[in-house]
Amino acid sequence: MDVNFPLHKAKNQNFRKKKNANESSKGIENLPDPILEHILSYLSTKDAVRTSILSKRWQYLWTSTPKLHLAEGERDERMVFMNFVERALALCDSSKITDFSLSCDVQYDTSRINAWIISVLKHKVQVLDMYLRNFQEPLALPPCLFTCESLEVLTLKMFHYLKLPSSISFSSLKILSLTKVIFSNDHSTQQLFSGCPLLEKLSIFDCIWKNVKDVCISSPMLQELFISDRYLFEEKYGENDDKDDLNADVDDQKDFNGCKVVIFGTSLESFSFNGELINDYCLYNSSSMVKASLEVFERVELDNHQDAHRVFKLLSGLTSVENLKLSSGIVDVLNYAEELFAHLPAFHKLTSLSLEGVETLFTCEPLLTMLQDSPLDFLDFEMDWLPLYDGDYDWVLDPLPSCFVTHLKAIQIYPFWGAEYEMHAVKILLEFASALERIVIICDENYFESRGGLKKQKEIYEQIRLFPRGSMSCVVHFCAGCSGRLPISSFHITDDASTS
């Protein structure tokens, strides 16, 4: 036997690897700059800069990519970061930067940061994302930002006053996202929302309206609107990490009765609200709306009668939706103003409804009233926790919505724990939903893990199989899930007792 054969074979393999590597390297080197720049555009800025050590040709190639994303790291490296930003912008001077993001502390460097913004705007930026924090001096963003003709997407996150110039004209802006900004006054805030004629998507996350009494949002092209008013909720539980000494008291809500925000949704298709009803939101001309979500937190320390009227106004502006999601807080707040029950709107186009917890349906008479004339065919219960229901399990569907008899074809419950009140709810749903074709019950696998596991789930399923049904063609799908909606495990039982 030739004992040198393995060594000879290894040498041949190394030779082929080197040859392939050289050919591959030559292949990349032979590519024209535009293609290499396109490849680099898929890398993070940090990784793109690292390619500068490959060869002289690659040394400045990264400066021609249209994307520049810069984020400050450790505070003891601040000067290195600041100097790198200025060097990067100088090297990119002759290039077009279409996508720029900046995340950093402001401290006492407002003039430098504004100089960076002005530089980027000169590059005809289209997407601009800024997260500014830790202010040690007031910041007024450069006026040219608010008249930029190339800008299509603007994302601004800063717990600071948004000081606006006298002239605002975002002629190309389609997406605007504002997070934790402090609106200065009625006039400038109104100018901001009026200066975006092509705006299609608007997100207002936890902004502070304390200095604004009335404002109107009426962009004719607006299709999606998301509003979150959670900053007081976060403040209660110590989640506001962006507060600094400069703006420590700006979110004091004493003697503040909220801002009235009027929304004209002539093209609006989707609306979402999440938070406490600090402000008064009113929707008008919203017949084009298809999808809406309302997640309301009850303000237990206040008189919620006002909040109930604000919920009523929101619901009244959503009557054209086909897909609606409601939190249990809607029920809690509405119950503070029973005089409104007789005047609640009807949802004549609603086909899909998602509720937070099964008790939301059975303990809210006004909700059942609103569903009376709806063509609802899908009902989804999203249960994020196991509530401790203290009431009697004598729930009835009164009044019984006509859609339960004529239209409702599918029900889904997730996650399911098999609690007594949940079983009672399933029993009622199966009995009165006479048009039902299927009910999907997804167990919380983690919950059952220490409570009998698969055996316990099968016991619950057998109980459900014996419940009387208003629809003899209804199929029960009983599945095991996990902490999220997906994946579903292999445990899956239907009425014919098959497993898959």
Which segment of 171-185, 303-317, 353-367, 424-438 scores lowest on mean pLDDT? 353-367
pLDDT exceeds 50 at position 166: yes
Q: Given a cut of 50, is residue 353 above it in pLDDT? A: yes
User: How far is residue 314's CA from residue 306's CA, in Å, rounded to a whole number?
Assistant: 13
Average pLDDT over residues 3-22: 46
| 8 Å CB contact between 189 and 215 | yes
289 with 270: CB under 8 angstroms?
Answer: yes
CB-CB neighbours of 102 under 10 Å: 19
The sign one gets for the Cα dihedral 209, 168, 292, 357 is negative
pLDDT digits (tens, 9 = 90+) for 232-276: 655 555 566 666 666 656 656 555 688 999 999 899 999 999 999
Q: What is the pLDDT of residues 458-477, one digit of tens each?
A: 899 999 999 999 999 999 99
Which long-range contacts (C-beta less than 8 Å, at least 24 apart) are formed by 306-312?
Answer: 306/277, 307/276, 307/277, 307/333, 307/336, 308/333, 308/334, 308/335, 308/336, 308/337, 308/340, 309/337, 309/340, 310/277, 310/280, 310/281, 311/277, 312/337, 312/340, 312/343, 312/344
Q: What is the pLDDT of residues 109-154, one digit of tens each?
A: 999 999 999 999 998 999 999 999 999 999 999 999 999 999 999 9
Extract the tokens encoding 435.
């048009």
Q: How does residue 7 score in pLDDT terms, banded at 50, 70 and 90?
A: very low
270 vs 258: CA distance, rounded Å:
24
Percent of the chain with pLDDT over 90: 51
Residue 284, token pair as written in the block: 């008008």
Residue 490 has a pLDDT of: 40
Q: What is the pLDDT of residue 391?
A: 54
Q: Do residues 304 and 333 touch, judged by C-beta distance below 8 A?
A: yes
Separation of alpha carbons 447 and 445, rounded Å: 5
Q: Quick check: 78 and 86 in contact, CB under 8 A? A: no
Share the mean pLDDT of the chain.
83
User: DSSP 3-state assignment of 231?
Assistant: helix
